[in-house]
Amino acid sequence: MSMPLLPVPHRTEDFPGACLPACCQMALAFWGIIESQTRIAARIGHIDGAGTPARNVTRLSIFGLEVRWHEHGTIDDLRQATAAGQVPIVFLHTGELPYWDQDTPHATVVTGVEAGTVYVNDPAFESAPIPVPVGDFQLAWDEFGCQWAAVHRLPNVSAMGQA
């Protein structure tokens, strides 16, 4: 039986290189927190030209969310996370993705995993979700050590960390 996809609101990049702020914006919006990409970029330490050290996504905890950083993840980890209602942000090499024609590091949100397909909200594209064959996804993810972050809400904590 197929799992429903996480209803993560889709967002596109507001400025060049804003893939990670856009993914953070999607994860926040999923939990009902509305923030601009510019403010998120400042919070996570975005630097023009270089971007953000990816594990800085844990700084989203200031919004009352729990963010767990992982390396060497597996497709099954993503399946379990989405099934548990967590929003995974993954770091990919677009050269391996069939719907990309550029070769660049990139962040996307995973909204679900079914047999043979990973569904992503890709902030570089207007339409979402985009189905990606699991083999292509794995290659794109492997290139950066299968790094990912799981974003979810702490129980009994509202936005901005106020209990």
Is 47 a residue that touches another protein (CB under 8 A)?
yes
Pick from 43, 55, 59, 68: which binds another protein (CB under 8 A)? 55
Instruction: Say whether residue 143 binds another protein (CB under 8 A).
Output: yes
CA angle 68, 73, 78 (to 5 degrees): 75
Q: How far is CA 151 from CA 89, 98, 102, 135, 162, in A?
A: 8, 26, 28, 24, 17
Phi-psi region of 45 (alpha: psi -120 to 50; beta: other; left: phi over 0): left
Q: Does 148 bind another protein (CB under 8 A)?
A: no
In the complex, what is the shortest distance from the CB of residue 65 to another protein, in angstroms, rounded to a whole number?
Answer: 19
Q: In the chain, count of helices (H) and strands (E)? A: 4, 6
| Binding span for another protein by CB under 8 A among 29-37, 73-81, 101-109, 112-120 | 101-109
14 versus 157: smaller Cβ distance to another protein: 14
Single residue of 4, 16, 116, 155 touching another protein by CB under 8 A: 16
Neighbours of 124 (CB within 10 A): 18
Q: Work out how close the CB of 23 gets to another protein at its nearest, in angstroms, rounded to a whole number.
A: 10
CB 78 within 8 A of CB 91: no
Contact residues toward another protein (CB under 8 A) are 16-17, 19-20, 47-55, 71, 91, 93, 104-105, 107, 142-145, 147
